[in-house]
């Protein structure tokens, strides 16, 4: 018989949230299924491609391998409020992007940093796809 569902609470994009989860769920599954956040994707399911990378307590983690239960009490914070291009490239070095959109990715990270520190939501209702 499996473990019982549990409630986890954490800070997600600057706001407190909670979810009732099965203990075997990965963080990427919870972000997508419970919060409709589809930016993180599971691709390789081995923590190698970087598609599922999220910040937990300021550290980049592969959310396909990170149990959602471990996020209980965590904050998804960044450690560089105004990251440089080189810092962004360093954090993205494990991400295997084949779309050739690296300049746009760097711009997106900078926009997210500006929104985070200005109190604006990172994702609005019309950006959930």
Q: Are strands 15-21 and 6-12 parallel, antiparallel or unpaired?
A: antiparallel
pLDDT in tens, the chain (129 residues): 578 999 999 988 878 999 999 999 999 999 999 999 888 888 888 888 888 888 888 788 899 999 999 999 998 755 566 778 888 777 776 666 666 566 777 888 888 788 777 766 665 555 444
**Which residues of the chain does CATH 3.10.20.30 include?**
1-77
pTM of the model: 0.66
The CATH number assigned to the domain with range 1-77 reads: 3.10.20.30
């Amino acid at each position: 018989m499996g473990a019982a569902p549990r409630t986890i609470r954490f800070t997600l994009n600057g706001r407190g949230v909670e979810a009732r989860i099965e203990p075997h769920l990965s963080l990427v599954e919870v972000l997508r299924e419970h919060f409709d956040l589809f930016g993180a994707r599971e691709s390789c399911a081995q923590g190698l491609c970087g598609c599922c990378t999220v910040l937990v307590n300021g550290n980049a983690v592969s959310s396909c391998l990170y149990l959602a239960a471990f996020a209980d009490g965590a904050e998804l914070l960044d450690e560089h409020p105004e990251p440089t291009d080189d810092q962004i490239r360093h954090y993205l070095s494990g991400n295997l992007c084949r779309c050739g959109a690296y300049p746009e990715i760097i711009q997106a990270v900078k926009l997210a940093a500006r929104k985070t520190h200005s109190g604006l939501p990172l994702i609005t209702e019309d950006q959930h796809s």
